[in-house]
Amino acid sequence: MEDMPISTIVASAGFIAGLIFGATAQKTNFCTMGALSDIVFMEDFNRFRAWLLAMAMAIIGTQTLHSLELVDTYKSIYLTSNLGWLGAIIGGALFGFGMTMAGGCANKNLVRIGGGNLKSIIVIIVMGIFAYMTLRGLLGLLRLEIEEFSNVDLKESGLDSQGMVDMAAALVGSEVDSVRAVVVAVFAGLLLIYCFKDAEFRSSPANLLGGLIIGLLVPVGWWITGVLGFDDFEPVPLASFTFVAPAGESVQYLMTFTGATINFGIAAVGGIIAGSFLMSVSTKSFHIEAFNDTDDMIRHLFGASIMGFGGVLSLGCTVGQGITGLSTLALGSLIAVLSIMAGGVLGLKYLEEGSFGGALRAVLSRQ
């Protein structure tokens, strides 16, 4: 174990955590796009509450790790002093709209690959390509222009990060550590109250387990990269579960294996697919599914492409920003999550109405 490279140790742990994540999501049908669809078309909030429960557990676990000084969340990509508000809005909305076109978010498509869905293989590959194009390729030029135009340097306002804990401390003129517990209690408490006030949700084991396990896996991810992956000479970047950029890195890793180094994100992607596959086989739910027709394929390709671009622009997906990012209590994550939800609702209405104008009118009129 001592002779094993730190990157291999982190990747091995990330793969195991991904196995649990994938198996749980497959078994409990944990899906943010499905949650929004349930609300829009059936007024059923159970899966939405499962997502909120995951947020609450991630916040509690992550902030506990930070308070115990096991993990420094300020080293994550979410708590920089550079607030990319416009990227979070545009990217989040594009990702939300795209996931409805692609039949699910990045997480759901990875889970569906394990369940035998051939459409999801194409979605993840295309999303990964567009994500990498946005990170380091042609679309990166557009991303940089948006960031340069709109990003706000919070240091000019006396803030070291975009953390809502820091902002609350500055507002009341107190030390950050002294208000952290209060802010965590408010955010997590409100989420938990909303979730558990509903009797139907309380009596839904699948939604309860999905929210609890997936939410707690986020601080596990922080611990793997921040504690298990700690090394004075080869430090591992602090990260937890997110799937858009890692999908692009996974595509590159498969093509350049001999010259590439595996990381937590790549290993987690593989673990989710494997975990979902094992669960689908064990529950006899594995089945091959392909595109229905040309229109179905075009819709999925379009959704995958804007998910890849939007997910990188907003720094994450429904899990990457919606759970992992929010676990750091970053303002940018909150903006991105609200934008993803807005884009998702608009996309669902587009599928129902058949036109963008009709969808927009339906959303504005709350029909």
Distance CA 205, CA 313 (A): 35
Neighbouring residues of 331: CB distance < 8 A, sequence distance ≥ 6: 83, 162, 163, 164, 167
Q: What is the tens place of the pLDDT at every residue in 163-177?
A: 999 999 999 999 998
Alpha-carbon distance of 227 to 206, in angstroms, equals: 31
Name, in order, each residue with C-beta under 8 angstroms of 104's C-beta and a sequence gap of 6 or more: 31, 33, 34, 112, 120
> Alpha-carbon distance 304 to 72, whole Å?
33
pLDDT band for 356, please (50, 70, 90 cuts): confident
The pLDDT tens digits for 336-354 are 999 999 999 999 999 988 7
E strand map for 77-157: 82-83, 152-153
Phi and psi at residue 172, to the nearest 5°: -95, 0
The rounded distance, in Å, linking the Cα atoms of 311 and 338 is: 14
pTM: 0.94
Handedness of CA 144, 148, 149, 150 (dihedral sign): positive
- Encode pLDDT of 95-152 as tens digits: 999 999 999 999 999 999 999 999 999 999 999 999 999 999 999 999 999 999 999 9
pLDDT digits (tens, 9 = 90+) for 216-272: 999 999 999 999 998 877 788 999 999 999 999 999 999 998 888 899 999 999 999
DSSP state at residue 286: -
